[in-house]
Amino acid sequence: MARPLGSLLSASIWLLLAVFFLHAFPSYAADPWRVDDLSVLVDQAGQETIASVSEPDRTAEFRLVPQGFSAGYTRSVHWLRFTLRAPPPDAQGKREILLEIHPAYLDDLQIYLSQPEKNGQFEIRKGGDLQPYTAKEYPYRAFVYRVAFDDARSRTAYVRLQTTSSSVLTVKTWEPRHFAEHTSREYALLGLLFGVILAVVLANVWHGLWRREAIYRRYIAYLLATLCLLLGINGLVGEFLFPLHPLWAHHWVSLSNLLIFIFGTHFYILALEINTAALWMRWVYRIVFWLSILCLPTPLIDLYPDAIRILMPLALLQLLTGAWRSVQLWRQRNANGKILLLAHLFSLAGAFATALTMLGLLPGHFFLIYGFQLGSVGTLLALQWMMGQHVRVIEAQQIQASMEVEIAKATAQRERAEREHQRHFLSMLTHELKTPLSVIRLRLGAINPTMRMQTHAKQAVEDIDAIVQRCVMVSQMDDSTDQPQPAQCDINGLLSEIFAHQQAAQRITLQLAEGVLTTPIQSDPLLLRTILSNLIDNALKYSPTEEEVKVSAVFSTEAGCDGICIGVENLSDGTVGKPDPVRIFDKFYRGPGAHQQSGSGLGLYIARALAEQLSGILRYRPQTNRVVFELWLPL
């Protein structure tokens, strides 16, 4: 299941990336009220006021940043200024736009809107993630403000930005109806993004490898940290998780960012085999890992900007180190080298997106806000590809191991069966040869043997010969691939020949149906003689000496095929128990009390195997006080 699931997730992420681009660019380029004069003034001491920065002679101090503003992690206050153009009046004669400010994790925003009819006065709006979501002017994950115009004159806006997170800001204006459509698409896209990431997490939990593979535990932790960070920087934590408790949402992004450093570093140490890399590489990863852990309390004690300014360059060095290590693994023909390099390139692309945007090489609004997220999604795509391949390798190894276990079990079972077979064979030989050998020993030890001793000794030799012959026949049957040699067989002649070799032939009665004597059958005479001899020998041996053995032959049909059924029936000897119908044809099986007579326990086994070779059927039909065997042969 890992292969189709991994393919589906990969396809979903690629689709998500495509939708991101299609969603972002057209709406941005078509905006007739696009803010293109965004400029910034740095207030390092934080002493400036709206009155001071709005003085006409301060205009030259504002630096133009048309692609969007980014100053990284700093404690400085920044004042941003831009112009809002009045839209045409709507059907009700109102002129209104929506001012959208990103990102959602900015701590404190103060927006000052000039009032053309009141020279020098400003309309003040406030925002930031320290404000409860329920207090927002417009229900949106970032910051949106309604701006009304009394006439066609433009309004100048000043934004005072102070934040402990990354000082990044983009502004955009919308017609209200267009913004509603944009919001619906945007939330659907974010739902798809988080759904895919959550599906990746569940897929890695589902297969259960995290229980025994440390790399999967670290990867899942890295995925969850990334999911938390993306939720935070998109403003969804404050909107859905803590709408009434802004302090939790305020620290969420900072803590998630540090957790990504910790879990990401922990994961890459295994994925990149850092413990076998050069010493300097090991030290880079160790420093970033332990420094990130030490920095965990900094968001809670207002030291996060200072800590992250130290940590970010080291994290960038770690990314470059990881990329180089990926190249080394690639050169060493490590299967993961290319994929890890791709993952690091995605991360580096996300990190450099802001810089390229500030240089005007990338569209400002989209890449400034979503560059990191695109890099993260691309990194997850590459890593999931790698982990999916690892799952498939492990599954193949498990299948191979399972096959080897099954083969080992089958081999062990076969060896046990062979040992059991040998044990039965030796037990049979020991038991069945003991009596005839004792008779022969008695004969050899007699100085003047009687005729009766001579007869018993001769019979003992014949019994031993019969046992040996049957053992040889079984061995030949197990090893030989010879096919039966069918020929025309005369049932009457074959039975007469068998009777002639029996010492108690006078006890046998023959009952043949009309027409059987004149109906030849196509069969192997040698094999058929062996089957019938075994059946008649057993009937004479295990029935009372004064009782007759009945041999019959009648026409019979099996499964629509005509044939002849030969029956051998005898009275059950009271000293010999009834045989087990289930085991009677098993190798070495002898019925209760059968050990009073010499035998190998192979006769019926041989008879049934030979009957199958002749395309016939040998059955045992137990009756109250009689033993009946039936051999059916096709004509």
pTM for the full predicted model:
0.66
DSSP letter at 587? Answer: T
Indicate the pLDDT class of residue 442, thresholds 50, 70 and 90.
Answer: confident
DSSP state string for 182-230: HHHHHHHHHHHHHHHHHHHHHHHHHT-GGGT-HHHHHHHHHHHHHHHHH
Q: Which residue has the higher pLDDT, 605 or 569?
A: 569
Q: What is the mean pLDDT of residues 20-39?
A: 59
DSSP E strands in 560-612: the ranges are 561-571
- How does 72-103 read in b/e, with b if 16+ C-beta sit within 10 Å? ebbeebbbbbbebebbeeeeeeebebbbbbbb
- How does 532-546 read in b/e, with b if 16+ C-beta sit within 10 Å? bbbbbbbbbbbbeee
Domain ranges of the chain: 2-17+188-403, 31-174, 483-634
Q: Which residue has the higher pLDDT, 36 or 4?
A: 36
**CATH code, 31-174:** 2.60.40.2380
- For residue 196, what are the contacts with CB-CB under 8 A and spacing of at least 6? 9, 12, 13, 16
**Fold of the domain spanning 2-17+188-403:** Rhopdopsin 7-helix transmembrane proteins (1.20.1070)
CA triple 98-99-102, angle to 5 deg: 130
Report d(CA 145, CA 372) in Å as an integer.
26
- For residue 608, what are the contacts with CB-CB under 8 A and spacing of at least 6? 585, 618
CB 546 within 8 A of CB 505: no
Q: Is 592 helix (H, G, I), strand (E, B) or coil?
A: coil
Q: Tens digit of pLDDT for each residue in 359-405? A: 445 555 666 677 788 888 889 889 988 998 888 888 888 889 999 99
- For residue 402, what are the contacts with CB-CB under 8 A and spacing of at least 6? none
Question: What integer pLDDT is reported at residue 524 of this predicted model?
Answer: 83
Q: Tens digit of pLDDT for each residue in 90-116? A: 888 899 999 999 889 999 999 999 998
Report d(CA 203, CA 2) in Å as an integer.
8
Q: In the chain, count of helices (H) and strands (E)?
A: 14, 17
- CA distances to 6, 10, 181, 599 from 199, rounded to whole Å, are 10, 11, 27, 70
Report residue 461 as tokens.
Answer: 């030799």
Homologous superfamily of 483-634: Histidine kinase-like ATPase, C-terminal domain (3.30.565.10)
- For residue 400, what are the contacts with CB-CB under 8 A and spacing of at least 6? none
In the predicted model, is pLDDT for residue 407 greater than 80?
yes
Q: What is the percent of the chain where pLDDT is above 90?
A: 39
